[in-house]
Structure 1
Amino acid sequence: MGYWALSDRVILVKFKGKAFDISAIQAYAPTTDADSVEMDSFFYEKVEAAMSQSKSQDIILGIGDLNTKVGECKEDDIVGPHGLGTRNEILVDWCKENDMVKTDTWFMNHKRRKYTWVSPNSNTRNQIDYSMINKRFRNAVKQSNSYPGTEINSDHNLVLAKVQIRLQEIEEEWRAFEETLYTSVEETIPKIKAKKKQKWMTDFILDMMEERRKVKGKDISKYKELDNTIKAKCKEERERMKYGKNGTSNSQWKC
């Protein structure tokens, strides 16, 4: 769909999806010892400006080198218990304010599948690269971890998140909602019996029409059976009205 570079540190890329569009925000944060004004500009202006260009129903992915650690402690439904290091609250607070979930921290992976950066002397390992997703789609993330040893010519490790949207679950939720809605309507709104629109219409035919309505979309064979019976009865009553009981044409009635 397109991309927008909001600064030399933040870019938004939008992809067209079958059910939901995807907004991917790639970010490279200043280091934690950077000027606080620069940090504020990054978190509260550039990234949020990128999010504001996404629709509320989009899948929003936040990915990149965020140069901060979230630690090993669980924080509500935002940060899981499987992070690394000592927490810096700036990223956690930002996720809370924007309903974003830190996906990597919710999976119990081996420690070498958690750290994303290695120092030049290989003595220090940190988790500072993350993947995030908007809270609405948190259950769509099936796995998120780093891949050390991948040939990418960088001191950072590749981070991969597996996201799977199951439309069947959405359809099932809709059917449950629809059934609840119909049940509530039938229980609270008084039923008005259908009036006879034709003089030849009988109560028996109206009752069968009501039965046909109840099985529509639930029992196809029963629906067809009732539909054929109704058509036959309608034809029979029209003929009876047209010719009368003695078989003589009753000209005052039209077919």
Structure 2
Amino acid sequence: MARKRFRNKVRECKAYPGADIDSDHNLVVMKCQLKFKRIGRKDKKERWNLDELKEVKKRQEFEREVIDKMLGEEREKSIDGEWGTIKEAIIAAARKKLGVKKMEKKKPWMKEEILRMMEERRRYKQARD
């Protein structure tokens, strides 16, 4: 009853002749083991360098940047519009003041060239074409 491709997935099969149905067919029950396709990971999101916020001066600059962006933009009256304004202000300030966290050396023998090659390989693996 299973196609040739899935024959090795059938674990147990049993026919029930004389089932109470108005048909000449016999009822067949099968237990099978299927493995579903793995879904790939989504693209990694930017990780902000939050260690910068530990310094008081950097934290104050970041706060000022966020407040300036929020006050400078025209606000919408809906909650979704308000949230969009806040989110855009925080992301823009983080890009400008904090920057993206860079990959760190995990072992003493890792050089900058190895880290660069790892990042390049990661980009090629994530390419969708």
Instruction: Tell me the TM-score normalised to structure 2 length.
Output: 0.26
Structure (1 or 2) with the greater strand fraction:
1
Structure (1 or 2) with the greater helix fraction:
2
Larger relative contact order, structure 1 or 2 (CA cutoff 8 Å, min sep 6): 2
